[in-house]
């Protein structure tokens, strides 16, 4: 969010409207926090954790766009390429949660990246629903209570965490330096209450 202050502001406006200043978001807010859901979907699309999924073995001869894939072939699906396909996601390198919204609802015409990000077929991640809910609550809670600011380097430039990405089987930023400040006195009190329970 330190790279996208307009996304952060829009998410916080939704949180202020739906949740209010005196409590943290909870799962009862899930269906009303559509922009937060769109942020989650875009984060999962934009930087998928397992870009080449897990290997799949073809159980019988198959054909794809004229290519014969013989039984027993090991296939590594390129999930990163699927989630950066400009036909499904125009301007795929741009972090844009609004692509998932239309007329105040989630847009059913945009491919849900969670159908790819967690794998598919018999290799689909069994923890995908737990992960979806946990990430949603983490994003909502952090954005509700904190403003996230970029770190300025010694040259006076904002640090870009996408410049140092660990690649391989797992993909993630190497480090994400940022400054967190409580959004308000109420937010600070919510944080303190949470840390004592």
Q: What H or E segment, with its residue span, contains residue 11?
A: helix 5-18
Instruction: Evaluate whether 183 touches 147 at the Cβ level (below 8 Å).
Output: yes
Q: What is the CATH number of the domain that holds 58?
A: 1.10.630.10
Q: Which residues are part of a known binding site? A: 125
* pLDDT, mean over the chain: 90
Digit-coded pLDDT (tens) for 19-69: 999 999 999 999 999 999 999 999 999 988 888 888 889 999 999 999 999
How far apart CA 1 and CA 42 sit, in angstroms, is 12
* Bridge partner list, 119: none
Residue 134 has pLDDT above 80, yes or no: yes
> Pseudo-torsion of CA 11, 170, 90, 66, nearest 10°?
-150
What is the mean predicted confidence (pLDDT) over 175-190?
Answer: 89
Q: Which of 41, 40, 51 is nearest to 172 (CA)?
A: 51
pLDDT at site 114: 92
Structure tokens, 86: 């400009």
Q: What does the pLDDT look like over 55-69, one tens digit per residue?
A: 889 999 999 999 999
Flag whether pLDDT at 87 surpasses 70.
yes
- Cβ count near 156 (within 10 Å): 6
Per-residue confidence (pLDDT) for residue 33, from 0 to 100: 98
Q: Would you state the pLDDT for residue 166?
A: 75
Tokens of 150: 């970029």
Bridge partners (DSSP) listed for residue 172:
166
Does the pLDDT at position 197 exceed 70?
Answer: no
The residues, ordered by sequence, that sit 6+ positions from 81 with a Cβ below 8 Å of its Cβ are: none
Per-residue pLDDT, averaged over 102-124, amounts to 90
Whose CA is closest to 8, among 68, 119, 95?
A: 95
Structural domain count of the chain: 1
- Cα(14)–Cα(32) distance, rounded to whole angstroms? 9
Q: Hunting for tokens 């290519």 — which residue is that?
A: 67
What is the helix (H) or strand (E) element at residue 5, kind and residue range? helix 5-18
pTM for this model (two decimals) = 0.88
Q: Is the pLDDT of residue 195 over 80?
A: no
Domain that residue 73 falls in: 5-196
Residues in binding site for heme: 125
What's the CA angle centered on 10, arms 19 and 129, to 5 degrees? 65
């Amino acid at each position: 969010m330190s790279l996208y202050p307009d996304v952060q502001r829009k998410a916080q406006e939704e949180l202020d409207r739906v949740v209010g200043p005196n409590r943290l978001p909870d799962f009862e807010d899930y269906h009303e926090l559509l922009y937060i859901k769109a942020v989650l979907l875009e984060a999962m699309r934009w930087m998928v954790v397992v870009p080449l999924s897990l290997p799949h073995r073809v159980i019988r001869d198959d054909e794809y766009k004229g290519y014969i894939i013989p039984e027993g072939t090991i296939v590594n699906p390129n999930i990163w390429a699927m989630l950066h396909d400009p036909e499904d996601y125009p301007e795929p390198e741009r972090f844009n949660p609004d692509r998932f919204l239309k007329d105040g609802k989630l847009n059913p015409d945009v491919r849900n990246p969670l159908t790819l990000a967690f794998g598919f077929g018999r290799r689909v991640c069994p923890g995908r629903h737990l992960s979806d809910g946990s990430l949603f609550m983490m994003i909502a809670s952090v954005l509700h209570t904190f403003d996230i600011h970029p770190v300025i380097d010694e040259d006076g430039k904002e640090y870009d965490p996408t410049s140092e990405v660990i690649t391989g089987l797992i993909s993630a930023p190497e480090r994400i330096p940022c400054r967190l400040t409580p959004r308000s006195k109420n937010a600070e009190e919510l944080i303190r209450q949470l840390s004592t329970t």
